[in-house]
Structure 1
């Protein structure tokens, strides 16, 4: 069985791109599921899949995040990875689907969990906003705040991989990927055509696909009058090559294979090798 991928909201589970991509398990809010039921469900997942990689946005309510850690503590399991992501909701959904795609490949659970940090660098997540007065997750200058009060103002905002904000209509453009991507577009209460008619051609995306707007997006961006977007690598063979090309290490704490500088399961940093002492 492939490593189980779990999420904290059903709208973070995008439709699969092929018949092999498994779905993701849902880890409900504490108000929707008693603790004993949450523990039982997680235990079944661990028994069936061996390992569980749970991904959730950094904007997740504190009570929900505490529930995830409580379940792992009750089970006293080192087979549950809790990955907190700083991406906007649609970007989280994209990354979740990529890990779902890779979960059927020959990567161990430790490599799969630590691959989330690597693949996040290749997700260009942003939004078109009609106001930035309540945007607190991307740096906004005083001039932009002032201009957002002008009727008809629109802003292009990039949250990942590097924050950027431009005022639409000034000739400025968001820095896009220098590799082939597909663009996922989720419309809120905005009828602007800027994302599809300006951004997509400028970024030379290969395909534009509409998606429902995640429920957490208006709060994340500070307004419901938005269009969220995320450009991503759609080809599983490229995703596989990216992950496979990184040197694998062994976690010094839990002993699982990983890539990068931190274990996705126990969060222990990679210990650098001891320097070789010269002989006299």
Structure 2
């Protein structure tokens, strides 16, 4: 799902819709045109993305023999994925190299709190669920508040129920499915958010959460200057494999990790003649 632009500088999103259903040559042409138009492409998709789509993306990248296409699948719920993609679109308007922009996604995931209020956790396999919570799922009217990232949390919804939230100022985004929840609406107050916004529920959310009876939520940093400051403050290195400038220990374009650091050798001791 492509969220609307956060500000006038936010780069437009390109949705690779039905990429697994198009004839291979058509999908290949579309992705090649996109790469030539922008120079580099970062494809952000959920871990709930169907395997045929993921296989097609890898096939296209291989056929194009291109190191200018990065496939990024962070472990975020679908709404968190949409928020992260928009943050990268915001940063794309800044003077950042493609490698730094792509690897910034791994950095920004640490500042995203993503979860949902669920009508059932019977099919939830993304967060540890105890036997008692499973049993309560069968009680009519039960609701559960879950945080999947950055650390798993699960509580039964009640007036005094709380979830640990961000310790810095964020905005809160809500996406309503087939569930009415006053508790979710009040989460912005509990987490002291700057404000609450609403959007449509991503198509992959029911699959990711195991139910369509949900309200998905995500807290995030919205200000471009803050996002840029975070990325710019991290030390940059060159990927030892493809030469891209990156931040962190992994290049998103070629998937190479930084070689282990080897301490300098001590000088050889020579016996005087």
Distance 2:183 2:123 in 1: 21
Q: How does 1:172-191 map to 2 (within 5 A)?
A: 172-191=161-180
Unaligned runs of 5+ in 1: 1-11
Unaligned runs of 5+ in 2: none
Distance 2:111 2:244 in 1: 25
Question: How far does the alpha carbon of each residue in 1:57-89 deviate from its partner, in whole angstroms, 9 at most, with x for none?
Answer: 011111000010000000001110001121111
Deviation at 1:189, TM superposition (A): 0.8
Give the corresponding residue for 1:7: none
SS in 2 for 1:165: strand
Distance 2:241 2:64 in 1: 19
CA distance 1:274–1:31, shift in 2 (3 Å): closer
The TM-score normalised by the length of structure 1 is 0.93
SS in 2 for 1:22: coil
Give the corresponding residue for 2:150: 161
Contact 2:20 2:52 in 1 (8 A): no
Residue 272 in structure 1 maps to residue 255 in structure 2: no
Q: How does 1:75-94 map to 2 (within 5 A)?
A: 75-94=64-83
Give the corresponding residue for 2:85: 96
Size of the aligned set, in residue pairs, is 268
Contact 1:30 1:63 in 2 (8 A): no
Distance 2:261 2:35 in 1: 32
Runs of 4+ with >3 A deviation: none
RMSD: 1.2
Deviates more, 1:170-179 or 1:153-162: 170-179
Q: How does 1:206-225 map to 2 (within 5 A)?
A: 206-225=194-213
Residue 64 in structure 1 maps to residue 64 in structure 2: no
Distance 1:268 1:77 in 2: 15
State the structure with more CA Rg.
2
Deviation at 1:50, TM superposition (A): 1.1
SS in 2 for 1:28: coil
The TM-score normalised by the length of structure 2 is 0.95
Distance 1:26 1:192 in 2: 30
